[in-house]
A = this chain, B = another copy of it.
Amino acid sequence: MSGKVYLVGAGPGAADLLTLRAARLLSAADVVLHDALVQEDVLALAPQARKIAVGKRCGKHSTAQRFINKMLVAAAHTNQVVVRLKGGDPMLFGRAQEEIDALSAAHIEFEVVPGITAALAAGADLKVSLTQRGLARSVSFLTPRHGAEEQEAEWLRAALAADTAVFYMGAGQLEQIAQALLTGGKPAHTPVAIVENASLPHARQWQTTLANLARFNVDAWAGPAVIVLGEVVATAQAEEWAKLQHIS
């Protein structure tokens, strides 16, 4: 008789942006397997649970993921309530499908609890709606691919076609992203905002244009960041704009 596994979105960072359901499950959890990015005060919502950091940040993904899958199945065999806590939303850039497949193959009951994804936290922080009547009827969330050019075309097409594009895990590739978008025909004056550590007290925001994006000093990064590209960014109120750091 196995326990049940909950794939739970931990949200963008702020502990009070967890859902009520996530908080209830954490308080009832026997064990919590969490990503490296999950904040301490989020984990504090599971005072009685054993906590295991399984997160990976950069590199060695495949091996690590297989190991996580095995740990999840093993945890369900010896615990009633297993929470797999993932940054943001489990179903967006969270590699949930691999864990779902492993749990299904092992006939373990599971449930997915959605979370606030970083793009929506960034929109809230910027006070800019990602869709806007007459300006943006579509928004793409995407992650750029390292490597060969024909692979680049996959994300590029989606980024060019959407009215608003939000890049996840792109902070290390600003120059490549900017160059690909410019070559693809995106206007150099397209407004861009970068939000680092969205929703957290130490969040930082920058605004620039696509033309200047490549010049940004990536050594400055101190946490996960999303890049928001599109005309909606320019609709930020002047007082909000004034708070942002300019890149030029």
Answer yes or no: A212 CB below 8 A from chain B CBs.
Answer: no
Answer yes or no: A24 CB below 8 A from chain B CBs.
Answer: yes
B residues in contact with A94, CB < 8 Å = 129, 131
B residues in contact with A12, CB < 8 Å = 114
Binding site for B on A (CB under 8 A): 9, 11-12, 14-21, 23-24, 89-98, 100-101, 104, 110-117, 120-121, 123-125, 127-133, 137-143, 145, 154-155, 157-163, 199, 232, 235, 237, 239
Contact A18 B16 (CB under 8 A): no
Number of copies: 2
Q: A17-B114, A104-B239 are in contact. Are A139 and B137 (CB under 8 A)?
A: no
Contact B128 A137 (CB under 8 A): no
Contact B19 A129 (CB under 8 A): no
Contact B137 A145 (CB under 8 A): yes
Instruction: Give bound CA distance, A165 to B247, whole Å.
Output: 32
